[in-house]
Amino acid sequence: DAGVTQSPTHLIKTRGQQVTLRCSPKSGHDTVSWYQQALGQGPQFIFQYYEEEERQRGNFPDRFSGHQFPNYSSELNVNALLLGDSALYLCASSRGDGNQPQHFGDGTRLSIL
Partner 1 sequence: AQSVTQLDSQVPVFEEAPVELRCNYSSSVSVYLFWYVQYPNQGLQLLLKYLSGSTLVESINGFEAEFNKSQTSFHLRKPSVHISDTAEYFCAVSGIGGYNKLIFGAGTRLAVHP
Closer Cβ to partner 1, 70 or 98, answer by number: 98
CB atoms within 10 A of CB 65: 16
- Chain residues binding partner 1 by CB under 8 A are 4, 31, 33, 35, 40-45, 48, 50, 55-56, 58, 90, 92, 94, 98-107
CB of residue 101 vs partner 1: minimum separation in angstroms? 5
CB of residue 112 vs partner 1: minimum separation in angstroms? 19
Separation in Å, CA 33 to CA 13, 17, 55, 56, 113: 23, 23, 10, 9, 26
Q: Is 37 exposed, middle or buried (0-12, 13-18, 19+ CB in 10 A)?
A: middle
CB of residue 41 vs partner 1: minimum separation in angstroms? 6
